[in-house]
A and B are shown apart, each in its own frame.
Chain A
Amino acid sequence: MPAPPPIANAIRRLRFEHGEMTQAELAARIGMTRQTVAAVEAGKYSPSLEAAFRIAEVFGVGLDAVFQWTGGGSK
């Protein structure tokens, strides 16, 4: 199994804070499948920069409030 990308995310919390938005609802708003949102949320897939911005836009926050680099010094 490949190592997961060194990027954490707060999508689960942000969905909770936005009226328990479902993965399917978020997926529909950013033009992705529910399975892809689930993969992003689980840290198994790093979305493109455009998709990351779309996710942040849905929650009305900046990119760094959604995604955090956890790769240490190799930033």
Chain B
Amino acid sequence: MAFREKTAWITLVATVLAYGGYFVAFGKAAAMGRTADLFWGVTGAVLIYVVIQVVLMIVAAVTAPQEAGAPADEREAAIQTGARAGAFYVLQVFGIAAVGCVYFADKWLLANAMFAALVLAELARNLIVIRGYRRGV
């Protein structure tokens, strides 16, 4: 597996674990009308995300030091460009949906909806990268 595909998997796993856990907890709190309960939850989720990322990236780099230091080639650059473009569409759709929350939601729900849009865009980016490596293009 190419090093940059590994990093996409790592980011995907870190995103699902850290932010998935946060949004499940936020969803439960929001269902009870306590949207402000997880004010510090975002910080915790970001810290968990960073720790998972750093640990797994170090493991990946140590097991393939040459690949880790090599610049992306043209195919990898094309995969990343396509993934960023795809992720931007996801961000637009969910970002607009999040802005729509302003008509019925409080500031906590609105902030979390925007945060969710960013997380979903990141998920989409990494899924598109992985698909690119799997397909060849």
Q: Is A42 interfacial (CB 8 A cutoff)?
A: yes
Please report the C-alpha to C-alpha distance between residue A52 and residue B74 in the assembled complex, in whole angstroms.
Answer: 12
Please report the C-alpha to C-alpha distance between residue A4 and residue B73 in the assembled complex, in whole angstroms.
Answer: 20
Total interface residues in chain A, CB < 8 Å: 14
Select one of B1, B3, B70, B75 contacting A45, CB under 8 A: B75
Please report the C-alpha to C-alpha distance between residue A33 and residue B6 in the assembled complex, in whole angstroms.
Answer: 14
Chain A residues with CB under 8 Å of B136's CB are 39, 42, 44-45
Chain B residues with CB under 8 Å of A65's CB are none
Total interface residues in chain B, CB < 8 Å: 14
Decide if the interface of chain B is mainly helix, strand, loop or mixed: helix
CB-based contact B73/A33 at 8 Å: yes
In the complex, how many angstroms separate the beta carbon of B91 from the nearest chain A beta carbon? 24
Select one of A1, A35, A48 contacting B74, CB under 8 A: A48
Please report the C-alpha to C-alpha distance between residue A31 and residue B72 in the assembled complex, in whole angstroms.
Answer: 9
Q: Is B2 interfacial (CB 8 A cutoff)?
A: yes
CB-based contact B75/A32 at 8 Å: yes
* 6 A-B pairs with the lowest CB-CB distances in the bound complex, closest first: A44-B136, A39-B136, A32-B73, A35-B2, A36-B75, A45-B136
Provide 27 A-B residue pairs closer than 8 Å at the C-beta atoms, listed in order of the A residue.
A1-B135, A31-B73, A32-B74, A32-B75, A33-B3, A33-B67, A33-B73, A33-B75, A35-B1, A35-B2, A35-B5, A35-B133, A36-B73, A36-B74, A36-B75, A36-B76, A39-B75, A39-B136, A39-B137, A42-B136, A44-B136, A44-B137, A45-B75, A45-B136, A45-B137, A47-B74, A48-B74
